[in-house]
Amino acid sequence: MTDALTYPDVVSFAVPFFIAAIFAELFWIRMTGRGGRYETRDTVTSLIMGAGNVAAGIALGFVAWGFFMVLWNLTPLDLGASIPIVVLCFVLDDLRYYWVHRFGHRIRWVWASHVNHHSSQHYNLSTALRQTWTYTFTFMMVVRAPLILLGFHPAMVLFCGGLNLIYQFWIHTEAIGKMPKWFEAVMNTPSHHRVHHGRNPRYLDANYAGVFIVWDKMFGSFVPEDPQEKPDYGLVHNIGTFNPIRVAFHEWVGIWRDIRQPGLSLKQRLLYAVAPPGWSHDGSRETSDQIKTRATKRG
C-alpha cells in the first residue's frame, strides 16, 4: 500500500500566476475598453474570500484528510501512482466535482457554502477566487469516498482536485469570447461558465462542469451561451454588503433563521436546510425551477 505518497500543493504555487493574470486582465480591460468589469471593493472582497479559503483549508483540512485516510486504510485496493492512474484520477475527480457542484446548487445546505462564489455581480478572474470558507461543513467530502475506496491515494485525489481548481481559474473571464469548436465541445470554457454564473432564468442551474463540459451534456444540464442574451451575473437576490464575514456566512444565517420560525413542522424545518434554494413552507419564495417556469410562461 502506498502510504507516503506526496504531491506539491499546486494551488499555493499558482498564487503568483493568479495575481499576474488578474493584472493582465485589468490592463486588457483598461486598454481595450471591453472584456469585463472590475470594481475595487468587489475585487478586494473576492480576493479576501480566496485568501480565507486557503486559511480554512489549512485550519480544517485535517477533517477531510482524516476521513480519507480512514477509507484508505479500509480499502484493499491500491492503483499505484503511475501517470495513467493520475490521469484517470483527474477525470473521475472531475466527475466528482460535477456532482458536488450540482448538489451545491440544488441542496440549500451545500448552497450555503457555494453561494459566496456567485455573490459578485462581476465576472472576472478575481471572481474565480471568491471561494467558500465553509466547505468542510457541507460534508461533501463523502462524494470523494468512492475514489479512495477504488484505490486512488488520498494525496493523488487532492492533487487532482487542486489541478481542477486551477483549470477553473481562467474560465472566469469575459475577455475571451469562444474557444475553437472542438475545445468548446469537450472542455469547460469561459463561454460555458459565463452561463453558469448568469442569473437569467434560462441560465439558472446550468453548466456545473469543472474541466470537462461533457458531464453537463451527459446529465442534461448543458445550456449554450446565447449571443442574444448576455448573462446577468450575481444572485437572484443580490447581497448588499462587501463584508467578507457576511459574504461567507449569510446563507447559513438564513437557514438558521428559517428553521427557527415558529409554528413549523419538523419536516418543514428540515426542508429549509436541504430543499433547493428558494424553497419555502408557504410558497412565498421561488426556487430556480419556479423562476424558469414563470419566465417560460411569460415567453
Name the site residues for another protein (rule: CB under 8 A): 9, 12-13, 15-16, 18-19, 22-23, 26, 30, 37-44, 47-48, 51, 54, 121-122, 126, 232, 234, 237-242, 246, 249-251, 253-254, 257
In whole angstroms, the minimum distance from the beta carbon of 186 to another protein comes to: 31
Whether the Cβ atoms of residue 175 and residue 35 lie closer than 8 Å to each other: yes
CA dihedral 138, 254, 111, 159 (to 10 degrees): -50
> Of the two residues 35 and 151, which places its CB atom closer to another protein in the complex?
35
Q: State whether the Cα torsion 127-64-102-85 is positive or negative.
A: positive
Compute φ and ψ for 281, nearest 5 degrees: -70, -25
In whole angstroms, the minimum distance from the beta carbon of 52 to another protein comes to: 10
> Of the two residues 121 and 168, which places its CB atom closer to another protein in the complex?
121
In whole angstroms, the minimum distance from the beta carbon of 255 to another protein comes to: 11
- Neighbouring C-beta atoms of residue 115, cutoff 10 Å: 23
In whole angstroms, the minimum distance from the beta carbon of 69 to another protein comes to: 23
> Of the two residues 178 and 260, which places its CB atom closer to another protein in the complex?
260
> Of the two residues 84 and 240, which places its CB atom closer to another protein in the complex?
240
Separation in Å, CA 14 to CA 32, 95, 273: 27, 23, 35
Query: Residue type at 40?
Result: T
> Of the two residues 147 and 239, which places its CB atom closer to another protein in the complex?
239
Query: Nine-digit cell at 219?
Result: 446529465
In whole angstroms, the minimum distance from the beta carbon of 229 to another protein comes to: 14
> Of the two residues 18 and 212, which places its CB atom closer to another protein in the complex?
18
Q: How far apart are CA 152 and CA 172, in angstroms?
A: 30
Whether the Cβ atoms of residue 208 and residue 101 lie closer than 8 Å to each other: yes
Max alpha carbon distance in the chain (Å)?
60
In whole angstroms, the minimum distance from the beta carbon of 230 to another protein comes to: 13
SS3 212: strand
